[in-house]
Amino acid sequence: MKEVLPALRFLLAVGLVLGLAADAFAQKRAVMPAFAKKVQTAGIYDDFPEPKPGDWQFEQREPDQSFSQYVQSQPVRATKQRKFLYVQTLGEFTEKQEEILDKTCEYLEIFYGLEVRRLKPLSDSIVPKKARRILPGTVDHVQFNVMYLMEKVLYPRVPENAAVCLMFTSTDLWPGNDWNFCFGYAAYRYRIGVWSIARNGDPEDEQQYTDVLRRTLRLATHETGHMFSMLHCIRHRCNMNGSNSLEESDTQPLEMCPVCLAKLHYAVKFNFRKRWTELQEFYEENGLLPEAEFAEACLEAQ
C-alpha cells in the first residue's frame, strides 16, 4: 500500500497525459464505431467554443485525446471480472438529496450500461480533523480534503469486481494547495472518484430541483468518464469538458460528444440504441426536455 499511494497521488494530476505508445492489438482496435460516426456527421453537436479568461481550458490548456490515442493508452475498461459500478455514500443527506442520489444511480446505470451497486453508507466521522477545514473567508463552511477521501477512505474499500467505484458526499470538497474547492476528482488508473452535491443548489426548492438534478447527473457521469481514463474533451460541447465554475458547467451538455462516446463504447461496450432509448425515457420522466430531444435526434441519426 505504501508503494501504491504515492503513485496514486502522482496520477491524480489534472493534466495527466496517458501513455500513448501503442501495441499492434490496440492499433487494430482503434476504429470509431459506426453509430459514433453517424452522430458526428449529423450536425447535432456544437464545436468546442474559443475559451475565454476564467474558463477551464483557458487556464489549463490541456491536450487533445483522440479516440486512437485513448485506445492506445490501454485505458480502464469493464471486464467479466470487473463489471459493476459501485457507489459509496459518505455522511448525511436530506430526503431530497437522497432522491437526487437515487436518480443519479439510475442514470449512471443507463449512461454506462453497467449494473450499479450501493455500498454500505459511511459516517463522515471517519474523516479526521487533518482532512477537514473551514473554507477561508467563511465561519462554518466545512470542506473535506478530496485527496484524503480517495487515498485513505475510498481506495481501500474498492470491491474486487468493481469496474469503477464512486464516492458521493453532501459536504464540499477541496483538493489542497491553492484551490478553494473542487466539484469532484477522479483517478485515471485506480478506478476511483469522489464528487459532491454541495455546490449544485438546493433540491428542497422546487424551482432549483431540476437544475440540481442536471448538475449532479453531469458531475457523476463526468467523473466516471475520468475513471475510465478519459481526458477532458476540447473538440465539442461535451460531458467531458473541464469546468472552473458552476456557470461554466451549466453551459455543458449531459451527453458525450461522438469521440468520447466512441471511447465509452470501447470501455463498456453498450448497445447504442438501447442506451439512447432509455436515456430519452429518463429525461422525459424527469423533466429534462432539451436532453430528451437530443437523445431523440441521436436515435434518428442512426
Report how far residue 261's alpha carbon sits from residue 257's, in angstroms, rounded to the nearest whole number.
Answer: 6
DSSP letter at 230?
A: P
Instruction: Give residues with Cβ within 8 angstroms of 193, minimum separation 6.
Output: 150, 164, 165, 166, 167, 184, 185, 186, 187, 223, 224, 226, 227
Total residue length of the chain: 302
Which string of DSSP letters, residue by residue, matches 234-273? -SBS-TT---SSHHHHTTS-SSPPHHHHHHHHHHH---HH
- What pLDDT is recorded for position 29? 58
Q: Quick one: cell of 266? A: 470501447
In this predicted model, what pLDDT tens digit does every residue of 262-300 receive, in sequence order? Answer: 999 999 999 999 999 999 999 999 999 999 999 999 999
Instruction: Give residues with Cβ within 8 angstroms of 4, minimum separation 6.
Output: none
- What pLDDT is recorded for position 59? 76
- What pLDDT is recorded for position 202? 93
User: Which residues partner with 236 through β-bridges?
Assistant: 47
| Residues 204 and 243: beta-carbon distance below 8 Å | no
Domain membership of residue 61 as a residue range: 4-300
Residue type (1 letter), 133 = R
| Residues 217 and 104: beta-carbon distance below 8 Å | yes
| Whole-number Cα distances in Å, 135 to 89, 174, 194, 248, 251 | 22, 9, 19, 22, 26
- What pLDDT is recorded for position 34? 83
Residue type (1 letter), 259 = V
| Residues 108 and 268: beta-carbon distance below 8 Å | no
Q: Quick one: cell of 297? A: 435526434
Instruction: Give residues with Cβ within 8 angstroms of 29, minimum separation 6.
Output: 71, 266
Report how far residue 158's alpha carbon sits from residue 87's, in angstroms, rounded to the nearest whole number.
Answer: 10
In this predicted model, what pLDDT tens digit does every residue of 52-101 receive, in sequence order? Answer: 777 777 777 788 899 999 999 999 999 999 999 999 999 999 999 999 99
Domain count across the chain = 1
Q: What is the pTM of this model?
A: 0.86
Which residues of the chain fall short of a pLDDT of 50? 1-7, 9-28
> From the centroid of its chain, how far is CA 149?
17
Residue 275: which of 289, 286, 261 has the closest Cα?
Answer: 261
User: Which residues partner with 143 through β-bridges?
Assistant: 133, 172
| Residues 197 and 208: beta-carbon distance below 8 Å | no
- Residue 165's SS3 state is strand
Pairing of strands 142-145, 132-134: antiparallel
Pairing of strands 84-90, 162-169: parallel
What is the domain-level CATH number for residue 168?
Answer: 3.40.390.10
| Whole-number Cα distances in Å, 254 to 120, 210, 211, 218 | 28, 13, 12, 5
